[in-house]
Amino acid sequence: MEKVSFPPLSRVAICGGTHGNEMSGVYMVRELQRKKEDKALSFTVTPVLSNPPAVDACRRYIDTDLNRCFTYAALSAPIAASTPHELRRAQELNSLLGPKGSQEAVDVICDIHNTTSNMGLCLLLFSDWISLHICKYLQSKITSVPVRVILLQASMPEAYSLDSVGKHGFSIEVGPQPNGVVRADIFNTVKEALDLTFHWLQKFNSGVTFEGGEVDVYTLMKSVDYPRDPATNEITAAVHPQLQDNDFKLLQAGDPTFLSFTGETVKHEGEELFPFFVNECAYYEKKIAFHLARKATLTIPPISVKKE
Amino acid sequence: MEVEEVVCLPRLSRVAVCGGTHGNELSGVYLVRELLKAKKGKEDAMSVQMVLSNPRAMQQCRRYLDTDLNRCFTHAVLNGPISDAAPYEMIRSRELNAMLGPKGSPQAVNLVCDLHNTTANMGLCLIAYSDSDWICLHIFRHLQRQMPDIPVRYIHFDVSHRESYSLDSVGKHGFAMEIGPQPHGVVRSNIYTAMKVGVQHVLDWVRFFNSGTIFEGGYVDVFTMVRHIDYPRDRETHHITAAIHPQLQDRDFCLLHPEDPLFQTFSGDTLRYKGTEPLYPFFINECAYYEKGIALSLARKRCVMIPPIRAQTEQEEQANRESFGSEEEEEEEE
């Protein structure tokens, strides 16, 4: 593949507390705000606490999920007195870090999340060579936890997450960690991922060519809800012990997926796929017990910074 | 060898199993819902009441709406003056007290088993106010023997009946059954199953007890809470400045020695335990305790001797009622 070049990446935003109870990002942003700016870096780092009222209340959100409010439609909707807090806040963040799709947008947004699922370190991104190269770099350097790439498939206008506001962006998702809790090991993984991201950016801006190659990615195929009582809509089963904590372990037809509260087993049917976000707390209300993905290999070109 | 005298205690004719006292501790919520669905009629010697303690908090999947329900069972809150503007949980605690109590009266249920989850790696714990309530301690020993696959421990909070504040203090006997680790708002199948099996063994023990079984004496280990340790905090913002150290995280009930790592600051420094006495940590990194200023609790362990016990026969109960009546008269005279 032919080499691709990009302008220098000089403005980087690190966002935490997009969900107010995902604590690694909250404390990472506070730590970045506390530390003095590193003048040796070839880029500026702007730490942003995305949803302060949700952080104060230690809740995922106040009115609605902030990380679904960054579609072009939501960002251009008129604001009224009755507008939910997060829709308002999304437009503020878009002014601060965007506007999405324009030349003024920051070069890279890195949005920090936690999950109750046993997902190790996952990087969620749209197909973008910069983000994919950063992921490849993290995968080659981090040995303490598995590092995987989840490829999101949405057009820019429809992309709804905060990281879609920057020219390039990705989410760092680390688990398992309960909501409202900060675990030192999980925090250390986030810190390691950020430090390596900064190393990569420094190298990129200094003119290093990053070789092309292959990256394994997971792409979402479908989601599976909990079995529910048709009358009350309450869940009637928990994720099966053999699936629990086994994110990214191939799920084949006949493998158990749920164990009902009265002891019956539900099994997977159909195509063999890779489960992830298994038993994520915030997804109960979104009617998702787990997602299922296919695995694919992407070829990425060599990249370097555009020389003036 | 001296034969120990068997302690005779009143039968446990009314038992309450409570879930959802904290609305986001889901094993108890779903277990009580299942038990309500499968409810059978009153058994001969025992009636079991299933209660969802905080339905409004459950609806929103939150620990509480206004204030922690499981701190609302002091005599002051239960019997003091109350306005319409009172926090929801204070109104609810009085409803539960009317249903299962009144606390401290002869009408109270015999046993309250209150179901909880924790984000701490605590296995199954029975938490009670007494280290000499033979009913609770015998139930504990029974669970330990019947559930060898999960660590089962007994935690004693040395709080007087007057100052006891939790739902389980409403019954004549009571304990919280706390199982972790489970994130709040999540139900893990293995944790749910452990709670289901645990409750089953508690009810089985009560049936055996009521039917006249003599339970032999013995020895059990009891962890008595000594104190709490808070997170280091920023003086101005009050935000925490460190997390539980990786070498302490998930090591509930592993003895903590002076100078062992306690916290890791967000800038990477290690803070160490400065106490002089080795103690047993528990509730390590419990989500709900950040706002209560508790990073971990510390306990001493001791071995407690429990006597053999059995249920009073009907004649013994009758004789006791009569002498209780005369004791009451004596108290009024004093």
Query: Per-residue pLDDT tens for B181-201?
Result: 999 999 999 999 999 999 999
Q: For position A3, what pLDDT does the model report?
A: 95
Q: How far is B62 from chain A, CA to nearest CA, in Å? A: 9
Q: How close A187 gets to chain B, by Cα (Å)? A: 8
Q: Say if residue B285's pLDDT is above 80.
A: yes
Selecting from B185, B240, B285 the residue whose C-beta is nearest the C-beta of A281 gives: B185
| Closest CB from A35, A184, A261 relative to B249 | A184
Of A31, A240, A282, Cβ closest to residue B189: A240
Averaged pLDDT for residues B116-128 = 98
pLDDT in tens, A54-72: 999 999 999 999 999 999 9
Of B192, B246, B291, the CB nearest to A238: B192
The answer for residues whose C-beta is within 8 angstroms of residue A231's C-beta and 6 or more apart is none
Q: State whether A183 and B183 contact (CB < 8 Å).
A: no
Q: Rounded to a whole number, what is the distance in Å from the CA of B240 to chain A's nearest CA?
A: 9
> Residue A184 and residue B246: Cβ atoms within 8 Å?
yes
In the predicted structure, residue B97 carries a pLDDT above the cut 80 = yes
Type of residue numbered A43:
F
Report whether pLDDT(B332) > 50: no
Question: Which residue in chain A has the smallest CA separation from B61?
Answer: A285
Please state the separation of Cα A24 from the chain's center in Å. 13
**Per residue in A36-55, pLDDT tens?**
788 889 999 999 999 999 99
Do strands A4-6 and A303-305 pair parallel, antiparallel, or not at all (unpaired)? parallel
Question: Least CA distance to A258: which residue of chain B?
Answer: B189
CB contact under 8 A, B266 and A239: no
pLDDT for B18-42, tens place per residue? 999 999 999 999 999 999 988 765 5
With CA atoms as reference, report the closest residue to A184 among A19, A23, A14, A16.
A23
Sort out which chain A residues have CB atoms less than 8 A from B34's CB and list them.
Answer: 261-262
pLDDT greater at residue B184 or residue B44: B184
Q: What is the pLDDT of residue B327?
A: 52
The verdict on a CB contact (< 8 Å) between B119 and A178 is yes
List CB contacts (< 8 A) between B284 and chain A: none
Q: What is the pLDDT of residue B322?
A: 82
pLDDT at A112: 98
Contacting residues of B for A240, CB less than 8 Å apart? 189
pLDDT at B1 over 90: no
Q: Is B5 helix (H, G, I), strand (E, B) or coil?
A: coil
d(CA B195, CA B119): 15
pLDDT attached to residue B45? 67
State how far the Cα of B278 lies from the Cα of A49, in Å rounded to an integer. 40
pTM for the predicted model, two decimal places? 0.95
- How does residue B309 score in pLDDT terms, banded at 50, 70 and 90? very high
Looking at chain B, which residue has its C-alpha nearest residue A56? B239
| Rounded alpha-carbon distances, angstroms, from residue B310 to B82, B135, B205, B318 | 41, 10, 11, 16
pLDDT tens-digit profile of A178-206?
Answer: 999 999 999 999 999 999 999 999 999 99
pLDDT over 70, % of chain B:
94
Is residue B334 pLDDT above 90, yes or no? no
Cα end-to-end span (Å), chain B: 42
Residue B331 has pLDDT above 90, yes or no: no
Q: Which residue of A has its CA nearest to B270?
A: A184
pLDDT reading at B333 higher than 50: no
**A26: closest chain B residue by CA:** B239
Question: CB A238 to CB B189 under 8 A?
Answer: yes
Among candidates B183, B193, B243 on the partner chain, residue whose Cβ is nearest the Cβ of A281:
B183
> Closest to A184 (Cβ–Cβ): which among B61, B187, B244?
B244
The more confidently predicted of residues B60 and B332 is B60
Identify whether the C-beta of residue B135 lies closer than 8 Å to the C-beta of residue B111: yes
Residues of B in contact with A235 (CB under 8 A): 30, 187
Q: Phi and psi for B99 in degrees, rounded to 5?
A: -75, -45
Task: Identify which of B33, B184, B239 has the shortest CB distance to residue A179.
Answer: B184
In chain A, % of residues over pLDDT 70: 100
* Number of alpha carbons in the 13 Å side-chain half-sphere of residue A105: 19
DSSP string, B214-276: PBP-EEEEEEEEEEEEPPPB-TTT--B-EEE-TTTTT-TTSPBPTT-EEEEETTS-EEE---S
Residue A23 three-state SS: helix
User: Among candidates B190, B207, B208, B211, which has minimal Cα distance to B40?
Assistant: B207
- What is the arithmetic mean of pLDDT over A70-93? 97
Q: Walk across the sheet containing B242-244 and list its strands.
A: B242-244, B261-265, B270-272
Find the helix or strand (DSSP H, E) in which A233 lies.
none
Give me the pLDDT at residue B320, please: 81
What's the whole-number mean pLDDT along residues A100-128? 97
Separation of alpha carbons B138 and B25, rounded Å? 26
Residues of A in contact with B185 (CB under 8 A): 116, 179, 281-282, 284
Distance from CA of B150 to the nearest CA of A (A): 15
The pLDDT of residue B209 is above 60: yes
Quick one: what percent of chain A has pLDDT higher than 90? 95
Answer whether residue A144 shows pLDDT above 70.
yes
A180 vs B31, B246, B287: nearest CB: B287
pLDDT at B41: 55
Residue numbers in A near B247 (CB within 8 A): none
User: Which residues in chain A touch residue B65, judged by CB atoms under 8 angstroms apart?
Assistant: none
Interface confidence, given as ipTM, is 0.96
Contact A235 B34 (CB under 8 A): no
Nearest CA distance, B219 vs chain A (angstrom): 34
Q: Which residues of A touch B244 (CB under 8 A)?
A: 183-184
Q: Which residues of B touch A282 (CB under 8 A)?
A: 185
pLDDT in tens, A266-291: 999 999 999 999 999 999 999 999 99
* Contact residues of A toward B, CB < 8 A: 27-28, 30-31, 35, 58, 116, 176, 178-185, 187-188, 234-235, 238-241, 244, 259, 261-262, 279, 281-282, 284-285
Whether the ω angle into residue A176 lies within 30 degrees of 0, i.e. cis, is yes
Q: Do B26 and B185 form a contact (C-beta atoms < 8 A)?
A: yes
The per-residue pLDDT for B324 is 65
Among partner residues A182, A235, A239, which is closest to B243 by beta-carbon distance? A182
| Predicted local distance difference test score (pLDDT) of residue B84 | 86
User: At residue B237, does pLDDT exceed 60?
Assistant: yes
DSSP state of A79: P
Q: Nearest CA of chain B to the CA of A193: how many Å?
A: 15
pLDDT tens-digit readout, A107-118: 999 999 999 999
